[in-house]
Amino acid sequence: MPYDSGTASAKLSPWDKRVERAAALARRFAYAGEILGFYGAVLDLQRKIYHHIPAQTITPAADIDSFRQQLEAQSDHALRYLAELVALVERKGTAKLAKEAEAVRAASNEQQRKMIALYAIQSEGEHPFFARTLLQPIAEWLAQCVPSQNVTLSTCPVCGVRPQAAVLRPEGDGGKRFLLCSLCLTEWEFRRILCPVCGEEDHKKLPRYTADDYNWVRVEACDTCHFYLKSIDLTVDGLAVPLVDEVATAPLDVWATGHDYQKTEPNLMGF
């Protein structure tokens, strides 16, 4: 639900937890301090966008196309925060993103809106970092209006994009695997031994790799299609916040790409 400023003590939102986790991991991993400092600031802006979505009655999307249309209809709300995002990138972002920020700032208001609207409909277009950053909290908000579905799909059942990560959540004496959408952040149940890209089922062709420094995160790879994604195991670290921990463990991405695996979908920081 949208944020109600009249509530004396608002319930801690997912975005609050993400901001706090980014700060905690920045203190824990010195190598990630700079990128997590930037990502934490991005999460803080996304939290603002999420909490100030105009209150309105949303009809649950019947399918992916209607969800995308609802997201596109929120382009003007996203656009209100573009200047703030551009300024943030210019202060704290990478040199590559700062150069893109110059181009975004120079574009006309109509060009900026079209950039956001195109990404809302197709998840593609110029300067995807900016559009995805602005739309992600809105997409999550809209996705919460969609009834949960008992499906096993390789792409998000709500918005149709590929997963950014897997999540193992405690269940009984083990864990149940979910996939985490890279846009609307929906989680949906997915079989433990199954590649979400090519459908490989042979466990011998689905190796898993981990490192001592990140024993709650592992690389789940496929030797058939050579794609991978990272899995955050909440049965090992219950304090983990999948969206943030996935970004904080970038050395695992470096290792995976160095061994000729390709990620199913890059995270917001580009790896």
Which of 246, 197, 258 shows the shortest CA–CA distance to 222? 197
- CB of 159 closer than 8 Å to CB of 71: yes
- CB of 41 closer than 8 Å to CB of 80: no
With cut-offs at 50, 70 and 90, classify the pLDDT of residue 57.
low
Does residue 111 register a pLDDT over 60? yes
Position 11 scores a pLDDT of: 64
Query: From the CB of residue 69, how many other CB atoms can be counted at a distance below 10 Å?
Result: 13
pTM higher than the cut 0.85: yes
With cut-offs at 50, 70 and 90, classify the pLDDT of residue 106.
very high
CA distance to 149, 151, 153, 181, per residue, from 65 (Å): 16, 18, 16, 16
Position 58 scores a pLDDT of: 73
pLDDT, tens only, 77-86:
999 999 999 9
What is d(CA 133, CA 88) in angstroms, rounded to the nearest whole number? Answer: 12
**Amino acid sitting at position 262:** Q
With cut-offs at 50, 70 and 90, classify the pLDDT of residue 59.
confident
Position 80 scores a pLDDT of: 97
Which of 75, 62, 49, 63 shows the shortest CA–CA distance to 141? 49
What is d(CA 216, CA 66) in angstroms, rounded to the nearest whole number? Answer: 37
- CB of 58 closer than 8 Å to CB of 2: no
- Beta-bridge partner residues of 77: none
Across 49-78, average pLDDT: 89
Position 150 scores a pLDDT of: 67
